[in-house]
Amino acid sequence: MMRGLLSALLCTLFAATALSAAEAREEVVLGLSQNRVAITADFDGSEILIFGAVKRETPIPDTDPLEVIVTVAGPASPVTVRRKEKKLGIWVNADSVLVDSAPSFYAVATSGPFEDVLSDTEDLRHRVSVERAIRSVGAAMNIRGAQDFADAVVRIRQDEGLYSLRPSTVAVDQQTLFRTAIDMPANLTEGAYTTRVLLTRGGQVVSAYETVIDVRKVGLERFLYALSREQPFIYGIMSLVIAVLAGWGASAAFQLLRDR
């Protein structure tokens, strides 16, 4: 009995070691054209070049071809979505749902058609697709079409250029080198943008890597943003003074032109 137990333990240990070796067979070595984005007065967007290589300790597997998925996600926060209905000829807010967490920006780039690169099960597990990057805990039982509220968040932010799915935009060379570019619009939210690279074969994730791109306001924009959050009263007074001075200046200039 003792011998059988020892044999089973050794088999389990061997299987775990073999599985670990298989999982570590391919790893991501990543590079970014920049890991910090500065939002200034003339900021009109940015393009992040993401490139890297696959590190292997064994030959390239002679099975399914290697596919690459790159995701960039901005800071997430809850979002309240309201549905409008027409009552007595007037559009009014009706039902509302709190979407538990929605990234302020989300882009997915893949090396092939999304459904070929990642299985539905793996998508559910890793939350890769735009729809699954949004977490909605649930809605009241009396609200019909609760999923429509999360879909509305996706639709609105896609129209604003904040959410995007970019199939077949990751170039993969000889199953070893990969590269892609992610366009980031001007209306970015400050914070840490999580960047993930997933390697897949046959729709299954075989390796993952994660890093962060820091997006911050700088210069005068940073000062005004911090002042509005930390000293709202002073910010309000300053805004009022600037508005009065601007109005007086415009009036004086108009008066001067009229006198001529």
CA dihedral 72, 74, 77, 79 (to 10 degrees): -80
Contacts of 78 (CB under 8 A, 6+ apart): 98, 99, 100, 101, 102
Contacts of 85 (CB under 8 A, 6+ apart): 91, 92, 94
pLDDT surpasses 60 at 11? no
pLDDT band at residue 1 using 50, 70 and 90 as cut-offs: very low
For 67, phi and psi rounded to 5 degrees? Answer: -120, 155
What is the pLDDT at residue 60? 83
The tokens 């050794």 sit on which residue?
A: 10
Can you read off the two tokens belonging to residue 183?
A: 């366009």
Task: Report the DSSP beta bridge partners of residue 215.
Answer: 37, 191
Can you read off the two tokens belonging to residue 92?
A: 């009014």
Can you read off the two tokens belonging to residue 90?
A: 């007037």
Within 57-147, strands assigned E span 66-73, 76-87, 90-103, 106-110
Can you read off the two tokens belonging to residue 188?
A: 């970015």
Domain 24-217 has CATH 3.40.50.300: no
Sign of CA dihedral 132, 160, 213, 225: negative
What is the pLDDT at residue 23? 46
Angle at CA of residue 39, ends 242 and 239, nearest 5° = 15
Can you read off the two tokens belonging to residue 41?
A: 């007065």
Domain segments of the chain: what residues?
A: 24-217, 218-260
Determine the average pLDDT of the residues in 29-55: 78
State which amino acid sits at residue 93.
Answer: N
- The crossing angle, in degrees rounded to 10, of helices 219-230 and 232-259 is 120
Contact indicator for 163, 134 with CB cutoff of 8 Å: no
What is the pLDDT at residue 83? 73
Q: State the Cα–Cα distance between residues 69 and 196, nearest whole angstrom.
A: 8
pLDDT surpasses 70 at 250? yes
Q: State the Cα–Cα distance between residues 236 and 228, nearest whole angstrom.
A: 8
pLDDT band at residue 13 using 50, 70 and 90 as cut-offs: very low
pLDDT surpasses 70 at 19? no
The 8-class DSSP code of residue 229 comes to H
pTM score, whole prediction = 0.71
Can you read off the two tokens belonging to residue 164?
A: 């995007």
The 10s digit of each residue's pLDDT in 162-216 is: 999 999 999 999 889 999 999 888 888 888 999 999 999 999 999 999 999 888 7
Residue 102 neighbours by CB distance under 10 Å: 22
pLDDT band at residue 237 using 50, 70 and 90 as cut-offs: confident
Contact indicator for 52, 37 with CB cutoff of 8 Å: no
What is the pLDDT at residue 218? 57
Question: Percent of the chain scored above 90 by pLDDT?
Answer: 33
The 10s digit of each residue's pLDDT in 215-225 is: 876 555 555 55
The 10s digit of each residue's pLDDT in 47-89 is: 889 999 998 888 888 888 999 999 999 999 888 877 766 666 6
Across all residues in the chain, what is the average pLDDT?
Answer: 78
Whole-angstrom CA distances from 26 to 43, 48, 131 are 38, 24, 28
